[in-house]
């Protein structure tokens, strides 16, 4: 755990008592602060009490007066669509509102030799890129900690030792609010519409991501340039085309020019500097990174660890041993030439499109709690789909948008897996890529993916 000493002897509010909130409470207490913890749910307050913190109702009139700061969890709105009442009271009273990511960077600022910090943000591929960076560093013998949006509260980690690295996945909620951002290497994977209600539209969403680079001032910025926003960001950060502080990354296009670039084409990763190629890696045999979207993740991770001093041969060995993350193009197993792949994390159209482009012949399981626009944006990517199996609340709405693609409304995961497995032919992939949220049938995308995996394992064991 990291003891946060910046508020020693002062009252600090903590709003939201999930994983990161409880870790924040413990870190502030260890640093000598008086913690005023609150969660709107009785379950959250009960967890706090079990951890030794007495809840203080910050929603009461005047409760935020005298607070040195309010530390809020990322899931709580601080501006759009409307600030949480406690945050609104703090904004009126002039109480600084911050988050645990900022406290982490504040804590490093006072150290003589802090660890290097790599931060990864973007719309899709953040978790895989973060995990891959940590894996490559660990395989090369570096002391690594991984935290942030990927599942571990950053203040709950123990800092790595000499020459160590902390790798953080950061969501737009986290980058938008943090008062202090100071990564050594910052990675921008890509941008597609998501969380627009929380950012007041696409411009606000991009601005939240952009803060990591413009206010964080990383020594090295790794920027995916396959979208206009990435190209714009790279232009803003670089002094010129030859500026090696900015590494441009792409999947599908050759990047030229006098600067530093890493790109993947036809399954091969290439690194170019100063107008010449300096390294190349064949990504095709790497089962943990299937498809062009994962090749983009590989390029971003490669660039980040190159910026930290790893050699191409070290990176190539680490890539070969990477097994991928659960629920992200995760191979569950194979039977009679049919592979079963869990991409439950594909909760929006853009991530589902990338999954559909990763395999040539697909039995596609999709559906759940559909988002605005449904799956209309996936129509250009349905050529590889032999048949679709629709589940959940949006099953019938999604089916109406499939055009001539064969489909079946299955409603439940059990029926969809059984039908797809029964009809799949050798060489095909049964792919769960829902293009929808999970909350109609599951508490989160992880539980949805776990259910799919369990059903497949039952089939494979039959």
- Is position 3 within any domain? no
pLDDT single digits (tens) 368-389: 999 989 999 999 999 999 999 9
- Is position 106 within any domain? no
Pair (272, 132) in one structural domain: yes
- Is position 401 within any domain? yes
pTM of the model: 0.87
Pair (314, 429) in one structural domain: no
Mean pLDDT across the stretch 5-20?
Answer: 96
Average pLDDT, the chain: 96
Query: Per the structure, how many domains does the chain have?
Result: 3
Q: Does 127 appear as a known binding residue?
A: yes
- Is position 445 within any domain? yes
- Is position 4 within any domain? no
Question: Can you give the pLDDT at residue 271?
Answer: 98
Pair (186, 259) in one structural domain: yes
Exposed e or buried b for every residue in 417-444, given b needs 16+ CB within 10 A? bbbbbebbeeebbbbbbbbbbbebbbee
Q: Does 122 appear as a known binding residue?
A: yes
Pair (336, 288) in one structural domain: no
Interaxial angle between packed helices 19-30 and 100-109, expressed in degrees from 0 to 180 and rounded to the nearest 10: 30
The Cβ-side half-sphere exposure at 449, using a 13 Å CA radius, reads 22
Last residue of a domain, one of 46, 73, 98: 98
- Is position 190 within any domain? yes
Using the predicted structure, report yes or no on whether residue 416 has a pLDDT greater than 70: yes
- Do the beta carbons of residue 165 and residue 118 sit within 8 Å? yes
Q: Does 123 appear as a known binding residue?
A: yes
Question: Can you give the pLDDT at residue 191?
Answer: 93
Q: Does 125 appear as a known binding residue?
A: yes
**Measuring CA to CA, which residue among 228, 219, 177 is closest to residue 199?**
177
Pair (119, 165) in one structural domain: yes
Phi, psi of 97 (to 5 degrees): -110, 130
Q: Does 126 appear as a known binding residue?
A: yes
pLDDT single digits (tens) 331-372: 999 999 999 999 999 998 988 998 999 999 999 999 999 998
Phi, psi of 394 (to 5 degrees): -95, 10
pLDDT single digits (tens) 45-60: 999 999 999 999 999 9
The residue range of the domain holding 450 is 330-461
Rg of the chain over CA atoms, in angstroms? 23
Q: How far apart are CA 163 and CA 142, in angstroms?
A: 7
Whichever domain contains 53, its CATH number is: 3.40.50.720
Last residue of a domain, one of 263, 286, 320: 320
């Amino acid at each position: 755990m990291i003891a946060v000493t910046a508020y020693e002897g002062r009252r600090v509010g903590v709003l939201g008592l999930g994983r990161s909130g409880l870790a924040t409470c413990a870190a502030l207490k260890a640093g000598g602060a008086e913690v005023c913890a609150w969660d709107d749910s009785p379950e959250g307050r009960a967890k706090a009490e079990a951890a030794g913190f007495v809840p203080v109702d910050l929603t009461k009139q005047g409760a935020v007066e005298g607070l040195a700061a309010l530390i809020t969890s990322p899931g709580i709105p601080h501006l759009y669509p409307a600030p949480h009442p406690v945050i609104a009271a703090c904004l009126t009273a002039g109480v600084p509102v911050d988050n645990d990511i900022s406290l982490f960077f504040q804590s490093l600022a006072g150290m003589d030799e802090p660890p290097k910090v790599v931060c990864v943000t973007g719309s899709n591929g953040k978790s895989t890129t973060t995990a891959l960076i940590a894996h490559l560093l660990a395989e090369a013998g570096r002391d690594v900690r991984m935290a942030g949006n990927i599942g571990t509260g950053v203040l709950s980690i123990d800092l790595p030792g000499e020459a160590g690295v902390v790798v953080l996945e950061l969501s737009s909620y986290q980058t938008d609010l943090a008062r202090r951002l100071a990564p050594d290497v910052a990675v921008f994977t890509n941008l597609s519409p998501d969380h627009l209600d929380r950012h007041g539209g696409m411009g606000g969403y991009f601005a939240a991501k952009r803060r990591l680079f413009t206010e964080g001032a990383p020594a090295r910025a790794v920027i995916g340039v396959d979208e206009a926003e990435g190209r714009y960001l790279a232009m803003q950060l670089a002094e010129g085309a030859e500026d090696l502080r900015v590494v441009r990354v792409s999947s599908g296009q050759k990047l030229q020019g006098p600067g530093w670039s890493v790109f993947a084409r036809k399954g091969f990763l290439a690194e170019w500097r100063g107008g010449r190629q300096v390294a190349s890696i064949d990504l095709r045999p790497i089962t943990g990174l299937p498809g062009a979207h994962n090749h983009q993740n590989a390029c971003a991770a490669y660039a980040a660890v190159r910026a930290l001093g790893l050699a191409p041969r070290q990176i190539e060995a680490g890539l070969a041993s990477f097994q991928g993350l659960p629920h992200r193009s995760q191979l569950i197993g194979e039977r009679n030439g049919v592979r079963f792949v869990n991409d439950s994390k594909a909760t929006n159209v853009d991530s589902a499109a990338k999954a559909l482009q990763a395999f040539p012949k697909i039995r596609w399981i999709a559906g759940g709690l559909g988002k605005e626009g449904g799956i209309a944006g996936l129509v250009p990517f349905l050529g590889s789909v032999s048949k679709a199996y629709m589940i959940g609340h949006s099953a019938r709405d999604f089916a109406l948008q499939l055009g001539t693609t064969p489909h079946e409304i299955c409603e439940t995961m059990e029926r969809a897996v059984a039908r797809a497995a029964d009809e799949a032919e050798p060489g095909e992939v049964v792919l769960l890529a829902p293009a929808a949220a999970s909350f109609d049938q599951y508490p989160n995308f992880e539980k949805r993916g776990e259910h799919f995996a369990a059903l497949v394992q039952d089939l494979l064991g039959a």
